[in-house]
Structure 1
């Protein structure tokens, strides 16, 4: 099989599997329907993108559709950006303003209109025959690069804020969503960097080298899509979003209280110290941390204080994230159980559920953070 035939086969397999995965995402029953639909649409557009590598001759009367297909890639990163928002924030909804993200796609097709869509005959044939050398194509490539890196940076900024809000307001399963989306964005950075390098081969290398570059990119893209979806299926907890209305503690602190220097509890006024002691006593006596889905809002309701005051108390005055504050009590409880000879028959898995964790990896990470030992090693010691 020659290179073109091999590329055609790989591209068709990639497109076929992508469409199957998209069909699954668009029909599967889940609480996170919007995120699944956005990602399903992204996969469909990727499949359409793959079709450009098929070994076929497009009918002359429909050549405008082929040109339109080449610009479809300008809709892919906006979909991924919206997907990240939908995964991170449980109350995210699509609105009319989000149509602005289609602007590069619209602009590109307007640029192509004078010499492609509105032309016919010899002029149009000449443009298509020298397509890769036309100014419109250079503009297209620059637009893709600008758009891609804009969304990459935007996603990293969203994830940075998401992680801070989660740590200040939630506990389990913590940063797994952040880690997953961060990995995904890093993969996109690598993929696009390789794609951009591959595109340079169009002008600097032989046609055979360029074709093999296309084969490599299709195989890598297919692998990434399969990995992405299988990860989502095997780890549904990744899609637990937070409320977008939540603020970081520093956003509602009085200006004069925003100080990056450490606050030592002994130097605080008696009111703050007494509140901290009362909170610690409540945590020890009532053990609210045993609830695996405990949030700062729920703890504030139980402790009978405004949620903002509790957030400032923990995240600012105690200089701890709510996540670390709660998990510290869970680890201390787990340590008591592990040291208790009468409970030696309990497995580590049973213990982590008993103390409020619902993820073995999260429990092991937190336990080692506080003890420098794994739960099993601590029990044996």
Structure 2
């Protein structure tokens, strides 16, 4: 029996990780995100078992099952999208059309496999594993299946990954309309893991085709499985840690039509003046958990009117409006005190140093340290001149 020891160990470990994660999810309260996460983990488990079936040599006992995981793999992109939708979208549920489109992936993957599945006997399929016994014509069936299925996989899954990234981007923009701090709700880790999944699956497709053509590189059979294992472990760990967001922590449901302006310029100018006043005098921006709802209750103006004023009159969202005041105070503290940046971050209302650094650089085009250094140089030049 031909056994690839390294890949068998790696994929066996991935099976263990996925099973443990699945057990953990199933033991928790059943909520929409956990249901979709369990479905995604189940598909990942079936996919990994398919790879283990081949590399462990078990395929020799049931050659007809070789490649059975490929249609399952086609569902991973849609499953990731649906998990993201359950976690981030304020809309109630995906449409039936969404599920039907997702199911076209496995159908498209099966079509190139038909000549291989039904055109060859079990003995002929086993013979393909050895260059000395394979039939050249039969090998063409295998190549057609391999290249065809992988092309479908790359295009289909790539489309779903792009759609999921767009969903995450829209989620973050919607959060910025309602909250001044979005670290917990934004699921920033998901974007990184999503890109890594895309890279892993693209590498898988390329290497899958390369092996069929007899092309190998020094990392064949080692680098990709290890990379897949790391991404799987990271995803499972972060997904299990992610708190379920309630509807108040998400954006607004998608609207079929763009909402028209309802306030006059004069009214928006009045609301703008009131917003600036409450920021200057009451320094509400220093509240780490300041939200549009809190601000609305504090000044007695509806959330819709505040949002409209910010977007139409001030040309910014709630997140950037509040953080602009935090940055201005941070600039003052940097120049007038000896406080550390790490202290100033929390003093001005931020609850994350990374968010502070990003916001500071966006507003000043400099890091906090570079800003302080530059301002001191300018002040020194004025004194010496």
TM range (shorter): 0.7 to 0.9
**Candidates 133, 136, 140, aligned match of 2:140:** 133
How many residue pairs get matched? 358
Closer, same or farther: CA 138–65 of 1 in aligned 2, 3 Å: same
- What is the correspondence of 1:61-210 to structure 2 with a 5 Å cutoff? 64-89=64-89, 93=93, 97-100=97-100, 101-106=102-107, 108-109=109-110, 116=117, 123=121, 125-126=123-124, 133-134=140-141, 135-174=144-183, 177=186, 179-206=188-215, 209=216
SS at match of 2:258: helix
**Aligned counterparts of 2:35 and 2:340: Cα–Cα separation in 1:** 38
**Candidates 221, 245, 249, aligned match of 2:253:** 245
Q: 1:365 — aligned with what? A: 358
Aligned residues of 2:3 and 2:57 also touching (Cα < 8 A): no
Structure 1 position 51 matched with structure 2 position 52: yes
What is the TM-score normalised by the length of structure 1? 0.74
SS at match of 1:319: coil
Shift of 1:245: 0.7
Closer, same or farther: CA 244–41 of 1 in aligned 2, 3 Å: farther
Structure 2 unaligned residues grouped into runs of 5+: 129-137, 377-385
Aligned residues of 1:198 and 1:210 also touching (Cα < 8 A): no
**Aligned counterparts of 2:340 and 2:92: Cα–Cα separation in 1:** 39
Shift of 1:202: 2.7
Structure 1 position 220 matched with structure 2 position 227: yes
Shift of 1:332: 3.6
**Aligned counterparts of 1:272 and 1:244: Cα–Cα separation in 2:** 22
Shift of 1:222: 0.7
**Aligned counterparts of 2:121 and 2:41: Cα–Cα separation in 1:** 38
Shift of 1:8: 2.4
Aligned residues of 1:74 and 1:104 also touching (Cα < 8 A): yes
Aligned residues of 1:35 and 1:86 also touching (Cα < 8 A): yes
**Aligned counterparts of 2:8 and 2:212: Cα–Cα separation in 1:** 22
**Aligned counterparts of 2:152 and 2:29: Cα–Cα separation in 1:** 37
What is the TM-score normalised by the length of structure 2? 0.73
Closer, same or farther: CA 283–243 of 1 in aligned 2, 3 Å: same
Structure 1 unaligned residues grouped into runs of 5+: 258-267
Closer, same or farther: CA 185–325 of 1 in aligned 2, 3 Å: same
Aligned residues of 1:18 and 1:46 also touching (Cα < 8 A): no
Aligned residues of 2:285 and 2:322 also touching (Cα < 8 A): yes
Q: 1:40 — aligned with what? A: 41
Q: 2:300 — aligned with what? A: 304
Shift of 1:159: 2.9
How large is the Cα RMSD of the aligned pairs? 4.3
Q: 1:263 — aligned with what? A: none
